[in-house]
Amino acid sequence: MEEAAATAKLNVVLFPWLAFGHMIPFLELAKRLAARGHAVTFLSTPRNVARLPPVPTHLSSRIRLVALPAPRVEGLPEGAESTADVPPEKNELIKKAVDALAVPFAAFLADATTGGSKPDWIVNDFCHHWLPAIADEHKVPCAMFVIVQATMMAFLGPRWANDVHPRTTLEDFTVPPNWCPFPPAIAYRRHEAAWTAGAFQPNASEVSDVDRLWQIIERSRLTIYRSCDEVEPGVFALLTDLFQKPAIPAGVLLQPKLDDGDGDSSSCSEVLRWLDNQPPKSVIYVALGSEAPLTANNLHELALGLELAGVRFMWSFRKPAGTSAPDADVVRLLPAGFEERTRGHGLVWPGWVPQVRVLAHGAVGAFLTHCGWGSTIESLVFGHPLVMLPFVVDQGLIARTMAERGVGVEVARDDSDGWFGRDGVAAAVRRVMVDEEGKVFASNVRKLKEVLSDQRRQDQYMDELVGYLRRYRDDNC
């Protein structure tokens, strides 16, 4: 019986892309695997490993953090090991750094295999297109963990679909592709389409993002998604059909009940104390992530729009990626006198904010977000309607799908260049926070919150994923 129990346990290696928006969901996946008794090795580079949140004590014996040596890449600043360390235009160099990790990864896997701890699975991200060949040498199966919206993967489509229905102009990305039965609105705006079309073109790493993704999916046994049927109904069957391999939802990987030990520092307590003094559901939380390509004009118009809306707000004011100035100094980018004029009902907080705790607070009534998938999930789990200001990657598609679900509105933007103004910000905020229409958004998002708060169902997604991993592991033996 002991031998059977041992073979039922999995030994899984997780290797995310060098961006914290990817590393954190990978770490959440690691925790849930470890909580089920499986051994997990989490790979990254030294500085990234040091910056990860601590692993809960009761799981620390089953989660091993391994730092592969950070490669030197010409053009990357000293110590730059993630996208958070560089401005967006240098992300391509981070991809070159990932490609340089092939040699240390091969050494790691060879040592693990000869040392008696051969992994049952390697769970890969979109970027490591060289990894499956190394895994094949050691007869270790691969899976891909997709941390962006599953709908975006269907929109991008597999290689064969793009060969049959090529997209050659920006306008081709402003409508749903032929292979997707999406409503007409589920597409990119023209100002977003340039990024999407660019993902199909080779960059400084000499490999396009989409080709990286295709190579990995084509050589993986299955794909895993940070999502669920309740959020994206019908998409997983579509993905299974398109890519001809199982598309497995892992659930949203977020628990609505918080551990009282989470979070730290005076910033956490001071932000929460400010919220404690606000009426219930009266505050819109504003956060656009740490890597949104914001300009000074964007920040001014957003600030003046919040002021014009006249509602209570709490703004997590993060400095742009690659900015060397201290967080407190970056607040100088705000319009002159803004903080003084809004001091009675607004808080601008530079630097880190305990976002999950803020969204869980009773004073928060809505979320003005860039529509990163993680932030969107967090807002839905805590039942907050959305004011949406997307910028890149899957954010535009997320905004469209959330608008279709009736859980929020987008800030009006110029379709050609993405410009937005204070009046558009104020109008969107008031639609959600003040106008009668806001009650409809709040009702719709409450219904989603109810199903996403069903922890038994979320646990079932993970249990079903583990079942797939076991069966495919055993088939490989």
pLDDT in tens, 173-195: 999 999 999 999 999 999 999 98
Whether the pLDDT of residue 127 is over 90: the answer is: yes
Task: Please tell me the distance from the alpha carbon of residue 178 to that of residue 166, in angstroms, as a whole number.
Answer: 10
Task: Please tell me the distance from the alpha carbon of residue 473 to that of residue 194, in angstroms, as a whole number.
Answer: 40
Secondary structure of residue 234 in the 3-state scheme: coil
Q: How far apart are the first and last CA of the chain?
A: 20
Task: Please tell me the distance from the alpha carbon of residue 86 to that of residue 190, in angstroms, as a whole number.
Answer: 26
Q: Look at residue 323 in the predicted model and tell me its pLDDT.
A: 55
Whether the pLDDT of residue 256 is over 70: the answer is: no
Whether the pLDDT of residue 267 is over 90: the answer is: no
Residue ranges of domains in the chain: 2-255+454-476, 265-452
Structural fold of domain 2-255+454-476:
Rossmann fold (3.40.50)
> Nearest to residue 217, comparing CAs of 253, 242, 235, 238?
242
* Confidence band for 4, pLDDT divided at 50, 70 and 90: very low
Contact 26, 14 (CB under 8 A): yes
Q: Sheet holding 222-225: strands in order across? A: 63-67, 39-44, 11-15, 121-124, 142-146, 222-225, 247-249
Domain spanning 265-452: CATH 3.40.50.2000: yes
Q: Look at residue 5 in the predicted model and tell me its pLDDT.
A: 47
Phi-psi region of 433 (alpha: psi -120 to 50; beta: other; left: phi over 0): alpha
Same topology for domains 2-255+454-476 and 265-452, yes or no?
Answer: yes
pLDDT tens per residue, range 292-309: 778 888 899 999 999 999
